Structure 1
């Protein structure tokens, strides 16, 4: 039972009317508006100050549900309205009727007969109105004045329709069938259709039957004395008539009537005011006297019944005669002068029942003034205030409690006399017979008391009767009791007695096949052993080889199987052993617990309960709600293998206990539900707290099953309950689903939708929530939902929502959809009804047709722009490719033309300048050739202007910083000096040219040009010739020349590749290189300089300029060598160690100081040579071969390397280093000349002085004197 008020969302606490709509929605007319309840929340409709004004007042007097789901509403001032469930708003029907008929409608009642017809009666009894549709026409509605043929009187008692849809109008002046010719002046008031037969009755005792073939009525004679009729009912074909002399039973087959008087000494009133026929065809008759009378219409047996509460404050009375039958076929009624009761069919008596709410302080309901019984046989009642919902739960069970005290049961059993024993946590021990009638309470002395007496100060947790009819009673803290025939023995833990109980907290007691008593305690396992007329206890304190390391000391349950295996559930795992025991000290215990990562082990080590079915299957529940079944062939092994019982819902709570019924079903007891599990099919039925009275929950009590009756007894906080599992079944109710509201995210108010034909979602409100409800008012414990969105969800797919009765949508694409929702009833059975709601999502502007057209146009424009840009890029690319091809063509032409022109102009110039004895005519002819060659040069340069002046790149553009050759780009002998770099340092000395001491390697694929270059260079240098890059690389490595002049475009290996390999070779990387090539583009120049060349000359070339560049490069290298040698001296090692870290020394090149500046020695080989010489400078036997071996190269390679790097032979370089070291020592130390000579590797001081003088021009002593 639940009470609702304004705090729960009800419009007002005063309810003026209530009903259930055709869609099963519950509606309530209040003093402050109209409310409906969908099982979750109340929703209220009324006029608000800031809303449209439709209702004349928010106080609604009566409501009448229509078959089309609308609701007729009559306000307190008798104004008539319709609440339209499609518009979700009130419609003022009265104003339209008044305007049409020029009347002032004063509405009384509305009789909705069908979707097409409703009758409206008025309080002034002047006329009636028949309305068939909400849209008005000339013929609809119709105003029918009282006193006419169609309406004998405006004082209408009742309007109804028979099975054929004929509309019967009953008035105080006659009866009429609307739309037919049938009219009778007899004022019938009661109507009853039995099959196809229609019975009519007046209030003054006349009864008739209607002959539809003739439109005629025939009177039925009534027994003598019948002068008043109050109601017509039937049971089967028999007509039951409530009269002033009792109940008249009319048999239409025999045309006989019999009178059943309800008078008796307790109830002398004869007149029956109300009759009710239950599902068993029993007749219940109410009078103005006390109580109620039950009548068997077949045997005419009767019995007067009455029930009342001893405490008047707990009584519930009714202003009307109240009787109903719930879905479990239990009859509930309020006998006249009595209280709310139910009929116990087994005892054939009324049992008073206190209507107490589980909310608002368990307040009782004193009075029922208005009520309605919904389609689920739920009673909705209102009294003085508030609204009460009464769900009639399964009531075919018995509840055993302790009067006026705590009644939580922790132990139950049935003894050999079929008496039930209940052990309470409060220490009471109650005995009841098999009819659950109290026999009494066990006192501390073992006697039986009719009043509650506490047996123990501690809770009773275990009850067991052994084969000798001894009752074992285990307590939590007070030890163990043994009771038989009023004799009581008490056993407790005694630390001084090893054969006493191991602990006083007892949780379970069982016996095995040998009738040994096994006891589960909080101190381990114990066995009761009878010795000399009393008992001692075998435990780990004496002979029992139980766990002694603190493991498995807290026991919960013991289970003994028919095959001799004993299972012990502990907080540290499951212990199993065999009951075939000869010596307690030799029992072999097997232990199973949870193993991390092993899914076939126990889910948890804290085992709550074990159950062995009749077929041997073993089920284990662990703390955490999990249920597992063993898969091991034997229970006598460690770490028994298990698997999960998949159908069990772990979210419903811990599996506290289990019991098997006669049908093989396992009843799983949880904290708030009882699950019926069929192991064969895997089907599970859940019976939750609302299936029993008082929202009942369950305790850890070991359940008891009586095989003889198949009844199961469970412990609850309210006492023990015993029920028959065969009659506890799932409901078959099929709830309807109704969409209730729509809420746009970000907005404060929700929009009711109910029976709207569709909803349209604006394009800017696509984030929304739609709420719905399965109209099952019994409970919501197992109500689940699923939905699909037609047009979006894949066909056949339903999306589960669990128990959530709303769907949130986020950015639904525009379009038309149908939202479908299905639900289960309160036992998880899917309903056949599916709610459908068409949804139209309005498109945004860009999703509309116009927007799409604009987007298409923009797409076409964008596509055109892309094609335009693409074509433009293609044109640019084509132009670029043409320029590149032109550039390549000119470059190739350059290469092909420049070399021959060089071979023409160069030799002629050499002849004209160096050859004597030429005749004047010969000189003129050669001059002519030279001039035309120069003109050809100019033409080539004009043709190659893009390659020279424009510097066109493949990626487009010009190099703004490119060097432009002066004039026409021709280098002549007369201006060659303008292009020779001034590479000599300011302090460089003039070198005297040696006699061919420089070797030049010329790499050129053109044989004529190679010969010409050899001719012009051989005069001053030793010349080596190579015809391609590969050959040039080989010769460079072999001869280590002082200079390399190379072309670029050559077969086998080009010049750039050859340069790359040379620069990567540490032995020859120091050699200066100049490129002489016909490829004159800036890109070609950059490629060469990236590889480290010293110069780049293009063909055709001036021989004078070429030789000048070579000489300048060689002189520059020599000046560096001489500058380095002249200024070399060494830094102090101590200072260096302070200023430079080891890491820096390793990473930086060896450094020597020159005056005040520093030069880095970047050549890796020279660094190694310098380091080796310094490390061995005092060794007079140090040879050049030692240096070459340390450097990992031949003597000749070392020679060329040092010669090119410093301009000295290896011997001279070593001697120079020694002299530099000696100079430093002369300047910075006072050591003798002999010591200094030995320190720098001279074994003869005189030879040292000679060498020093040759190097420095003065002897060492003079040097020291000058530099003091």
Structure 2
């Protein structure tokens, strides 16, 4: 089997996204992920029913309630998060609303929190913060001067809870769980209430789409949108694309990829690609993406292009578009010589085809576009033993192949037709041994050949003359296979063997570098 690496590209291309699941063993404090947010430094904060997690992409740091520490979280059961533009993280836990200082890693209690019974927040800028007070209205708070301006109104909907606070231009929208939307004009201080037209509706999430329409998602199956410009409610047109788009509990527009992300409790993840006007549904055990579960609680896209999907009991999935993904190249056949296995070396021809050297199936050419295999075990009149390729190197337009006991064959890299071969023997155009373990094409266009059983060979490719460094002349090569060859910047040739590392210079003097030893032999 061969594996290709594929990288990141724009748009929703699930086959090029690497998914990894994060659970307790990766450091997550608890398996029910309720919310996620990204702070100004890029950390991802993950709330659970047992702790707050700070994720740096590799490691988790967990914060929990400590009854002996008054600055710890008041509760470890956290329902909701909001990260602003500065140092503060805002939380709603089983003990109410809190502010967490991400620099000091502790809960803080500013004067505004002591004076007012705050229940949620929107941080527009690092200093301009909007707080909601249940049943009363909004506060505009300057975190630098601690100045507070009250925007209270009797228009607050009764017997319903706030879902979220959204801003667009000079308008602040308070969205409630019954679908009502309260608009505040920040310039005039005037409120307008827009009642959702269907009574007794219950929504669980609210967020902007690409066009700054407010999308309302409900666990009961409703999906509606609100036009801030004309103040009209309507059913979302996305429902017509997939009848399974129900129980949406989290929505986010990903501006980097032009995607609308919608998580569902029971139907997995939905992704609407604006560039092609297509809605994708991603479920567990389906081929699109290997997500961990269908019972999602939160979807979140960060500023770097990563997508995070939190579950009810299955931890967290991270969709990474930058990690290169392995794509297997596999071919199985009842005939052993037509199966891709024991891959030794890979080269590439001028047309982009992969040339694969195997131990048992000979030489294989693979067309990456057509996904077609072509076997050359017998077309080049190679016998069975020669199907065992150990070493291979491309030199210009030639492909040099070293076999297990049958010397070297040189092919045209594009046609794979044989140009010539090099056999074993004592002559000036022959090799010291036929089991080829290593090749090196040096700076002087010479080819060095390391063997398993009888030393080193230096091939002058112009004169077709071979110099042998045999075990008889160089006893340290006896029973000492030459695994690899490397040329330094200074021109010396390093020889990696089963008994250490050797060096041969331009005067063909060989010394052992490791273990250290005096000069072993000088060529004549």
The match for 2:495 is: 569
User: Are 1:412 and 2:346 counterparts?
Assistant: yes
Q: What is the TM-score of this pair, normalised by structure 1?
A: 0.27
The match for 1:295 is: 273
- Whether the 8 Å CA contact 2:448–2:456 is kept in 1: the answer is yes
User: Are 1:182 and 2:108 counterparts?
Assistant: no
Question: In structure 1, what is the Cα distance between the partners aligned to 2:365 and 2:197?
Answer: 54
The match for 2:96 is: 111
The match for 1:502 is: 432
Question: In structure 2, what is the Cα distance between the partners aligned to 1:443 and 1:182?
Answer: 82
Q: 1:280: Cα distance to partner?
A: 0.3
User: Are 1:591 and 2:471 counterparts?
Assistant: no
Question: In structure 2, what is the Cα distance between the partners aligned to 1:16 and 1:289?
Answer: 17
- Whether the 8 Å CA contact 2:75–2:94 is kept in 1: the answer is no
Question: In structure 2, what is the Cα distance between the partners aligned to 1:472 and 1:209?
Answer: 74
Q: 1:491: Cα distance to partner?
A: 6.4
Question: In structure 2, what is the Cα distance between the partners aligned to 1:305 and 1:499?
Answer: 65
The match for 1:216 is: 190
Question: In structure 2, what is the Cα distance between the partners aligned to 1:569 and 1:524?
Answer: 10
Distance 1:181 1:42, change over 3 A: closer
Q: 1:423: Cα distance to partner?
A: 4.9
1:122-173 per-position Cα deviation (integer Å, ceiling 9, x unaligned): xxxxxxxxx9969xxxx9899xxxxxxx9xxxxxxx9312334543245xxx
The match for 2:16 is: none
The match for 1:444 is: 377
Question: In structure 1, what is the Cα distance between the partners aligned to 2:312 and 2:192?
Answer: 39
User: Are 1:519 and 2:483 counterparts?
Assistant: no
Secondary structure of the 1:416 match is: coil
Q: 1:548: Cα distance to partner?
A: 2.1
Matching of residues 24-35 of structure 1 within 5 Å: none
Secondary structure of the 1:318 match is: coil
Q: 1:194 aligns with which of 163, 167, 171?
A: 167
Matching of residues 92-111 of structure 1 within 5 Å: 109-111=94-96
Distance 1:408 1:419, change over 3 A: same
Q: 1:438: Cα distance to partner?
A: 4.6
Secondary structure of the 2:351 match is: coil
Q: 1:70 aligns with which of 65, 69, 73?
A: 73
- Give the greater-gyration-radius structure (CA): 1
The match for 1:467 is: 396
| Larger RCO (alpha carbons 8 Å, 6+ apart) | 2
User: Are 1:280 and 2:256 counterparts?
Assistant: yes
- Whether the 8 Å CA contact 2:377–2:387 is kept in 1: the answer is no
Question: In structure 1, what is the Cα distance between the partners aligned to 2:390 and 2:300?
Answer: 41
1:707-759 per-position Cα deviation (integer Å, ceiling 9, x unaligned): xxxxxxxxxxxxxxxxxxxxxxxxxxxxxxxxxxxxxxxxxxxxxxxxxxxxx
Question: In structure 1, what is the Cα distance between the partners aligned to 2:485 and 2:108?
Answer: 73
Question: In structure 2, what is the Cα distance between the partners aligned to 1:310 and 1:455?
Answer: 44
Question: In structure 2, what is the Cα distance between the partners aligned to 1:415 and 1:189?
Answer: 63
Question: In structure 2, what is the Cα distance between the partners aligned to 1:3 and 1:280?
Answer: 27
Question: In structure 1, what is the Cα distance between the partners aligned to 2:194 and 2:205?
Answer: 16
Matching of residues 716-795 of structure 1 within 5 Å: none
Secondary structure of the 1:183 match is: coil
Q: 1:524: Cα distance to partner?
A: 3.2
- Whether the 8 Å CA contact 1:240–1:250 is kept in 2: the answer is yes
Question: In structure 1, what is the Cα distance between the partners aligned to 2:386 and 2:240?
Answer: 50
1:1046-1082 per-position Cα deviation (integer Å, ceiling 9, x unaligned): xxxxxxxxxxxxxxxxxxxxxxxxxxxxxxxxxxxxx
Matching of residues 1006-1045 of structure 1 within 5 Å: none
User: Are 1:232 and 2:238 counterparts?
Assistant: no
Q: 1:473: Cα distance to partner?
A: 2.8
Matching of residues 876-895 of structure 1 within 5 Å: none
Q: 1:369 aligns with which of 309, 312, 315?
A: 312
Structure 1: gaps of 5 or more residues: 47-53, 56-64, 76-106, 117-130, 143-149, 151-157, 335-367, 372-379, 382-388, 448-453, 578-588, 595-601, 607-637, 639-1268
- Whether the 8 Å CA contact 1:508–1:556 is kept in 2: the answer is yes
- Whether the 8 Å CA contact 2:407–2:424 is kept in 1: the answer is no
- Whether the 8 Å CA contact 1:461–1:474 is kept in 2: the answer is yes
Question: In structure 2, what is the Cα distance between the partners aligned to 1:512 and 1:74?
Answer: 65
Q: 1:395: Cα distance to partner?
A: 0.6
Question: In structure 2, what is the Cα distance between the partners aligned to 1:496 and 1:161?
Answer: 86
- Whether the 8 Å CA contact 1:444–1:455 is kept in 2: the answer is no
Aligned length: 429
The match for 1:939 is: none
Please tell me the root mean square deviation across aligned C-alpha atoms, in Å: 6.3
Distance 1:241 1:430, change over 3 A: farther
1:636-692 per-position Cα deviation (integer Å, ceiling 9, x unaligned): xx9xxxxxxxxxxxxxxxxxxxxxxxxxxxxxxxxxxxxxxxxxxxxxxxxxxxxxx
1:166-206 per-position Cα deviation (integer Å, ceiling 9, x unaligned): 43245xxx664487632324246432323653223345555
Question: In structure 1, what is the Cα distance between the partners aligned to 2:492 and 2:271?
Answer: 57
Secondary structure of the 1:317 match is: coil
Structure 2: gaps of 5 or more residues: 1-20, 79-91, 102-106, 140-149, 333-338
1:793-814 per-position Cα deviation (integer Å, ceiling 9, x unaligned): xxxxxxxxxxxxxxxxxxxxxx
Secondary structure of the 1:573 match is: strand
- Whether the 8 Å CA contact 1:446–1:488 is kept in 2: the answer is no
1:922-946 per-position Cα deviation (integer Å, ceiling 9, x unaligned): xxxxxxxxxxxxxxxxxxxxxxxxx
Distance 1:182 1:330, change over 3 A: same
Question: In structure 2, what is the Cα distance between the partners aligned to 1:438 and 1:282?
Answer: 31
User: Are 1:159 and 2:119 counterparts?
Assistant: yes
Question: In structure 2, what is the Cα distance between the partners aligned to 1:69 and 1:407?
Answer: 56
- Whether the 8 Å CA contact 1:524–1:539 is kept in 2: the answer is no
Q: 1:295: Cα distance to partner?
A: 3.0
User: Are 1:168 and 2:142 counterparts?
Assistant: no
Distance 1:307 1:575, change over 3 A: farther
Q: 1:211: Cα distance to partner?
A: 2.2
The match for 1:550 is: 475
- Whether the 8 Å CA contact 1:428–1:441 is kept in 2: the answer is no
1:361-401 per-position Cα deviation (integer Å, ceiling 9, x unaligned): xxxxxxx4247xxxxxxxx54xxxxxxx9796951455556
Q: 1:573: Cα distance to partner?
A: 2.5
Question: In structure 2, what is the Cα distance between the partners aligned to 1:247 and 1:490?
Answer: 73
Question: In structure 2, what is the Cα distance between the partners aligned to 1:323 and 1:36?
Answer: 16
Question: In structure 2, what is the Cα distance between the partners aligned to 1:411 and 1:441?
Answer: 16
Matching of residues 1067-1146 of structure 1 within 5 Å: none
Question: In structure 1, what is the Cα distance between the partners aligned to 2:455 and 2:354?
Answer: 29
1:999-1048 per-position Cα deviation (integer Å, ceiling 9, x unaligned): xxxxxxxxxxxxxxxxxxxxxxxxxxxxxxxxxxxxxxxxxxxxxxxxxx
- Whether the 8 Å CA contact 1:324–1:331 is kept in 2: the answer is yes
Distance 1:424 1:416, change over 3 A: same
Question: In structure 2, what is the Cα distance between the partners aligned to 1:279 and 1:255?
Answer: 24
Q: 1:426: Cα distance to partner?
A: 8.4
Distance 1:604 1:333, change over 3 A: same
